[in-house]
Amino acid sequence: MRIGLFDVDRTGFPNVALMKLSAWHKAEGDTVLPLNSGERADRRYASVVFTWNRPKAAACLALGAIVGGSGWNLSDTLPPHMEAMKPDYSLYGIDYGIGYLMRGCIWTCAFCVVPEKEGKPREVATIDDLVNRDGRARPFVVLLDNEFFWREKWAIAPLQEFTERGIDFSPSQGLDVRVVTPALADALAASPFWNLKRSRRQITFAFDDLSIERLYRRGVERLLTKIAAWHLQSFVLVGFNSTIAQDLERLAIIRSYGIDPFVMVYRDYHTGQMARDPQLRNLARWVNRRLYKTCTFAEYWPEASRDSQGVIPHLVHPRAWVIPPEGDGVL
């Protein structure tokens, strides 16, 4: 058969399900057409990750494609015999490996669909299952795990394996700073971690709510005993259940450690709607373009509410953000 595969989202980020479908059909002797090809096909598959792209997926369905993915139905999964396939990396022409060592999450955050989609944490693959044998001389693996630190002993084992085998890796979904132990900090510091582009040695974690401040500080301080602050980045969720003042307070805490923040504006999975408050969008630009190093948020966005100017003015002044804690994390 001639098989057509369509990446509905077209983000440029490889779709693992499509690569596994390609691998399975090739193993069956079928011809897999180039990704998103308009050529004649006997069977077509379309995968969509984001709900806001459902109209495009529906158009594929109308043309006779088999449609699946988190953006179509959270309960969708590949059949076990397809899920077990090693991805066909040639579909996207990539020279690195990508996939999951584990699935699921130990938390039930209201803004996240992972617990609903993936359930309880469990191991699903080995490092060898993900390594791209046709890739670089020194392998690179992009991990999609949502809770890599779900169990200390389990997490330390692959970190040590990456280190001993000389396999670079990027935990692209971030790591859970709340559960960092001294042993995890040691193993992570010794491992060959990189950012997604493999351009900088960087680890990312999240500070999504002030309610986790104590756990956040504990985890960060444990990491900073082994890893310099410039190797760390912290996601900051805004527009979900926090005020601008609370967002700025989290940002100030992050910067007090010499760590660079990255703001992510909440987008509802089910509706596809993103917070429309222009203040949030400007906050994201101010932080993500690192303009906080040159001016306050009130200076960048004069229309900022009194919530961010009058209540906690000391938290939006750049000079209050460049003093790292004693002994660690020098900018």
Q: 1-79 and 95-193: same fold?
A: no
Rounded Cα–Cα distance for residues 77 and 100 (Å): 14
- The average pLDDT across 58-82 equals 93
Here the tokens at position 306 are 């009194």
Q: How do the domains of the chain map onto residue ranges?
A: 1-79, 95-193, 216-331
Here the tokens at position 49 are 């990750």
The highest-confidence range among 127-141, 146-160, 213-227, 274-288, by mean pLDDT, is 213-227
Here the tokens at position 48 are 């969509």
CATH architecture of the domain 1-79 equals 3-Layer(aba) Sandwich (3.40)
Looking at residue 302, its pLDDT comes to: 85
Express each pLDDT in 250-279 by its tens digit: 999 999 999 999 999 998 877 777 777 889
- The average pLDDT across 280-305 equals 90
* Among the listed residues 96, 139, 100, the one whose alpha carbon sits nearest the alpha carbon of residue 121: 100
Express each pLDDT in 151-188 by its tens digit: 899 999 999 999 999 999 999 999 999 999 999 999 99
- The average pLDDT across 77-96 equals 95
Whether the predicted pLDDT of 135 surpasses 90: no
Whether the predicted pLDDT of 121 surpasses 50: yes
Per CATH, the number for 95-193 is 3.30.750.210
Contact call for residues 106 and 122 (beta carbons, < 8 A):
no
**Which DSSP string corresponds to 14-77?**
--HHHHHHHHHHHHTTPEEPPTT--S--SEEEEE--SGGGHHHHHHHHHTT-EEESTTT-TT--
Contact call for residues 242 and 205 (beta carbons, < 8 A):
no
Looking at residue 321, its pLDDT comes to: 40
Contact call for residues 279 and 304 (beta carbons, < 8 A):
yes
Phi, psi (degrees; rounded to nearest 5) at 68: -155, -175
